[in-house]
Chain A
Amino acid sequence: MSSRTTISRIAALGGLSTAVLLAATACGAGGPAATSGSAASTVNVLVEAGGHAELTGVAEQCTKDTGINVNFVELPYDGMFNRLSSEFSSGNVSFDVAALDSVWLPSFKDAVQPIDELFTDEAKKDIFPALVKEANVDGHFIGMPAWTNSEIILYRKDLFEDAKNKTDFKAKFGYDLAAPTTWKQYQDISEFFTKDGMYGTDVKGGVETEWLAHVLQAGSPMVLDANNNVVIDNAAHKDALDFYTSLVKSAPPGAAQVDWAAAQNLFNQGKTAMTRFWAHAYRQIPKDSPVAGKVGAAPMIGGSAGVAGVPGPWYLSVPKATKNSDAAKKFVKCAYDHNDLGIESSLGLASRISAFEKYQDKPGYESFKPLIETLKGQATATRPATAKWQQIVDTVLVPMLQKAVAGGDSATLLADAKKQIQDLLK
Chain B
Amino acid sequence: MAEQKTVWTGLTKQEPLVAPDQTYASITDHISGTVLERKTPRGMIVTLAITSVLILVFLTSVGYLLIEGVGIWGLNNPVGWAFDITNLVWWIGIGHAGTLISAVLLLLHQHWRNAINRFAEAMTLFAVICAAMFPMLHLGRPWLAFWLAPYPNTMAMWPNFRSPLVWDVFAISTYLLVSFLFWFVGLVPDLASMRDRAKKKWQKVIYGILAMGWRGSAMHWHRYEMAYLLLAGLATPLVVSVHSVVSFDFAVSLLPGWHATIFPPYFVAGAIYSGFAMVLTLMIPAREMYHLEAYVTDRHLDYMAKIMLATGLIVFYGYMMELFFAYYSGSEYEGFMMKNRITGPYWWSYVALIFCNGLVPQLLWWKKLRTTPMVLLAISIVVNIGMWLERFVIIVTSLHRDFLPSSWAMYSPTIWEIGLYIGTIGLFVWLMYFFIRVMPMISIFEIKHLIPWKGRTIDTSADAG
A binds B: no
Q: Which residues of A contact B (CB under 8 A)?
A: none
